[in-house]
Structure 1
Amino acid sequence: MTSLHYEVHGPSDAAATVLLSSGLGGSAGFWQPQLGALVEAGHRVVVYDQRGTGRSPDVLPGDHAIAHMARDVIEILDAAGTARCHFVGHALGGLVGLQLALDAPDCVASLVLINAWSKPNPHSARCFDARLALLGALGARAYVEAQPIFLYPAAWCAENARRVADEVDHAFAHFPGEANMRARIAALRAFDIDARLGAITAPTLIAAAKDDVLVPWTCSQRLADGLHDVTLDFMPHGGHAHSVTEAAAFNRSLLDFLARVSTPAVPA
């Protein structure tokens, strides 16, 4: 059993399970653009709300770390009756996948890392400093109003103004509290496994958008340079959440990768 909220979608007899881990927002709802495509392709899919967010309420300790989040995934896999998964993570969720691949490699059949990173960088640090300053000085409403600026391209925000406004309202209504948000941001800012990338052997799809204003695409290139079995999918645009803004193209890449790594090798 687990106190964390999780959902299982798709056929119970699927050969493999895909687990989706979202970014800083922590919500299973982030994956709505992928869920239908994965289930239609025959995958069993697990989504969850991360500890201290959404339907997994908790008070996070000040020393909350990505390693704790990786242990939460093991707890969810156990509760879902799954020993091994194809792990798909966006940003912070990608860090969780990297940590899981180091701490419990037998749990990870493959990794999909979307606009993720292996060590801190000064540009993202500046962005988080600004977001934390907004949170401290003006509160949660100002923090969530600024969130789309970091997630989506400006043109997409303008063309989807109603959707963006609804997302902001939803984020404000379900804001996890300043202390939890600060603990989660501190965890991702402290994450650094750059020197250990070579120990990760799971086949990995690295997906990034080159116009991401929060995480430089070069962080994804750094992952590609340090990992062993890598497939690259760099898009020219789409922003930090390009799995949302360019969902059709991203889904094709994701499904192609999963089909390849799920196919048993033919003996020589």
Structure 2
Amino acid sequence: MSDLPGNFPGDLPDNEALEAMFAAESAPDPQARPWDGRARHLTFLHGLGGSPLTWENQVAKLPPVGVRAQAPWLRGMRPAANENFDFSAAAGDLLMNLQLEGAPRTAVIGHTLGGMVGMQMAVDSPETISHLVLIGAQIRPPAAALKAQKMALKMTPRSRFEAMGVSKNRVASALDMIATFEAGDHLDAITAKTLLVAGERDRAGRAAAEHIASNIAQADVFIVPGASTEPMNENVEEFNTRLWDFLGVEPHTY
């Protein structure tokens, strides 16, 4: 479950700017229609060491009408946040925002930590999650894997995080919380149509995807050719094709 910083733009817009960007990219259809099983509202959740900009290659393809999308910071992960990361609090915050927005349901696309928060949301409020796309997610990472991640984090310069607008302290705090994840014990409560995604070169991710899929009623596994731990950015074409097909979304073409 390794997604420590890679190559991201150095200037990170604030959350309001990101929300405006996503709203502009994907304005709602003025003709409200009964739900037909297609995703009409998307929530993209970044992973450990990531940010909302993780999803640039997906938001660029959002259709101009008919779908709304958001890519918020996970509660407790924004550099200026006052609170620490917690799975239940992060999920509860997102569910509350959906209620305030008037969105009856959303499709959650989550990378690693974001995927775990997505599972928490689907366990806590099954009727709210229409689709669940889990990329590199795990429910009970081996202690040795967590130890290796903590060592890698310790050796990563703080400046590398700061260049991406990510807080190293926030990442370290969230990494400590992974062992407290309990929603993995209640996967049978998830009713959302689910897609587990892993890169072909991510052996641990593939094993975790198969395990999680075996415990969710409507779950399939998709292995992204040639990709490792960030398939949504390492093989954009293959990932996006499967994503939009799964969600029932017609991507924007230029």
TM-score grouping bracket, smaller chain normalisation? 0.7 to 0.9
Shift of 1:76: 2.7
Superposition map of 1:38-117 within 5 A = 38-39=62-63, 42-54=66-78, 57-61=80-84, 64-117=85-138
SS at match of 1:37: coil
Q: Distance in 1 between matches of 2:175 and 2:83?
A: 12
Q: Distance in 2 between matches of 1:101 and 1:225?
A: 16
Q: Distance in 1 between matches of 2:228 and 2:94?
A: 27
SS at match of 1:220: helix
Candidates 114, 117, 133, aligned match of 2:154: 133
Deviations 1:26-63 (A, max 9, x none): 52111000012233584221111223444x721233xx
Q: Is the 8 A contact 1:120 1:190 kept in 2?
A: no
CA separation of 1:25 and 1:72: change in aligned 2, threshold 3 A: farther
Q: Is the 8 A contact 2:224 2:238 kept in 1?
A: no
SS at match of 2:91: helix
CA separation of 1:65 and 1:256: change in aligned 2, threshold 3 A: same
Partner of 2:183: 193
Q: Is the 8 A contact 2:75 2:89 kept in 1?
A: no
CA separation of 1:31 and 1:46: change in aligned 2, threshold 3 A: same
Deviations 1:127-182 (A, max 9, x none): 312124325xxx513xx4xxxxxxxxxxxxxxxxxxxxxxx7732xx23252x222
Structure 2 residue identity aligned to 1:67: S
Q: Is the 8 A contact 1:11 1:44 kept in 2?
A: yes
Shift of 1:203: 0.8
Partner of 1:21: 45
Partner of 1:184: 174
Q: Distance in 2 between matches of 1:216 and 1:88?
A: 16
Give the structure-1-normalised TM-score. Answer: 0.74
Structure 1 residue identity aligned to 2:196: I
Structure 2 stretches lacking a partner, 5+ long: 1-13, 34-39, 250-254
Q: Is the 8 A contact 1:4 1:51 kept in 2?
A: no
CA separation of 1:249 and 1:42: change in aligned 2, threshold 3 A: farther
Give the structure-2-normalised TM-score. Answer: 0.78
Partner of 1:12: 28
Is the aligned partner of 1:249 residue 2:238? Answer: yes
SS at match of 2:71: strand
Is the aligned partner of 1:209 residue 2:220? Answer: no
Task: Write 1 or 2 for the structure with the bigger share of helix.
Answer: 1
Identity of aligned residues (%): 25
Task: Quote the RMSD (CA, aligned, Å).
Answer: 2.6
Q: Distance in 2 between matches of 1:28 and 1:114?
A: 15
Structure 2 residue identity aligned to 1:240: T
